[in-house]
Amino acid sequence: MARDLILIAVLLIAALIWRIRTREVAIRRRYPPLGLLVPVEGSRVHALMMGKGPDLVLIHGASGQLRDLEPLMRRLAPQFRVTAFDRPGLGYSTGLGAAGVSPRAQAQHLAKAAAHLGITRPIVLGQSYGGTVALAWGLEVQGDQTAVALVLVSAPSLPWPGKLDWWYRVTETKAGRVLAALLATALVTDAYLDGVMPGLFAPNPPPTDYARATGAALAMPHRTMAANAMQVNGLLDHVTEMQARYPDLHLPVELVHGAEDRIVPPAIHSIPLSARLPAAHLTLLPGVGHMPHHAAPDAVVAAIIRAAIRAGWTLDPPSA
């Protein structure tokens, strides 16, 4: 009987490993890199560039990758040279291990990729977690890659009360992260991903076929899920530390936030942040949730144009 149980356990583990490996191969085959794999200090950063003009850098949020920003990139390419990055550990960018929990380390790493690509004095836009990385870029990055302005979209920036949702509580420990990530990679289906998208966009509907079109399944490889869980679980400590330096951030900052955002509530983040930053302008969008770059892209584009003008740029008009 004991031998039978051991055999069954071995077979189940083998089946789980096979499922994880085949699923990850299938996901990456289905959604290959869109851009360049930029070498940075023995690792790589996935970057997609399009358009011409002054440099604009876009940084995605938690559980995401640059495909989420591609529709916005295409809107902006007639007036900017737009570069979107996969953040370290997500998409096709190599993780930074424990160091990657720091938004500042992520910002510095992406700035090195920007230097490799010849990006100079960019406007830096970040959405959700990417907005925290954009804030860190403004605080930390010096030299040719210094940001001339920031655009923060639905960005967590200040300490918040309460706990994160159940997934992040499960993945707080290394053992929890490893086990939960392996099981999720094996078991979570495309249909499940479709089902969670309405909650991400609420109260707005997600774009048609959003999960497939933006490669949401690229969040599912187990190392990606573990890296994302580490980053989100470590975020509170980092914004708590960063906030003391916000009054020193004198560059133009455009804040765009959905008034109905329940994931990163504006009353906790962008509204009080706008009072702390010396050169902040807040756009609060009634009826919009956590994803304004999809639900209200005109407002996000307008904020970028304002940031460019405030930075002293002269933009070519978009072609007809």
Domain 39-159+239-310 has CATH 3.10.20.30: no
55 exposure class (CB count in 10 Å sphere: 0-12, 13-18, 19+): buried
139 exposure class (CB count in 10 Å sphere: 0-12, 13-18, 19+): middle
Q: How far is CA 242 from the centre of its chain?
A: 18
- CB count within 10 Å of CB 28 equals 15
Pull the structure tokens for residue 227: 């890296």
pLDDT of residue 16: 80
| Non-local CB neighbours of 80 within 8 Å, separated by 6+ positions | 51, 53, 54, 55, 56, 123, 304, 308, 315
Model confidence, pTM: 0.95
Rounded CA separation 17/89 (Å): 21
Decide: helix, strand or coil at residue 5: helix
77 exposure class (CB count in 10 Å sphere: 0-12, 13-18, 19+): middle
Rounded CA separation 58/56 (Å): 7
Q: Which among 232, 271, 244 has a CA at the least distance from the CA of 255?
A: 271
Q: Are strands 43-50 and 36-40 parallel, antiparallel or unpaired?
A: antiparallel
Q: Which among 200, 236, 235 has a CA at the least distance from the CA of 216?
A: 200
Distances (CA, A) of 94 to 44, 148, 252: 5, 27, 31
pLDDT of residue 10: 64
Distances (CA, A) of 282 to 58, 150, 255, 300: 19, 12, 5, 11
The domain limits of the chain are: 39-159+239-310
Strand partners, 256: 153, 283
| Non-local CB neighbours of 138 within 8 Å, separated by 6+ positions | 124, 147, 150, 249, 251, 253
The DSSP string of 77-138 is TTTSEEEEEPPTTSTTSPP-GGGGG-HHHHHHHHHHHHHHTT--S-EEEEETHHHHHHHHHH
Rounded CA separation 255/127 (Å): 10
Rounded CA separation 260/203 (Å): 7
Q: How far apart are the first and last CA of the chain?
A: 76
pLDDT in tens, the chain (320 residues): 677 677 666 667 777 888 899 999 999 999 999 999 999 999 999 999 999 999 999 999 999 999 999 999 999 999 999 999 999 999 999 999 999 999 999 999 999 999 999 999 999 999 999 999 999 999 999 999 999 999 999 999 999 999 999 999 999 999 999 999 999 999 999 999 999 999 999 999 999 999 999 999 999 999 999 999 999 999 999 999 999 999 999 999 999 999 999 999 999 999 999 999 999 999 999 999 999 999 999 999 999 999 999 999 988 766 54
Q: Which among 276, 279, 281 has a CA at the least distance from the CA of 244?
A: 276
Distances (CA, A) of 28 to 186, 193, 232: 15, 16, 23
pLDDT of residue 320: 46
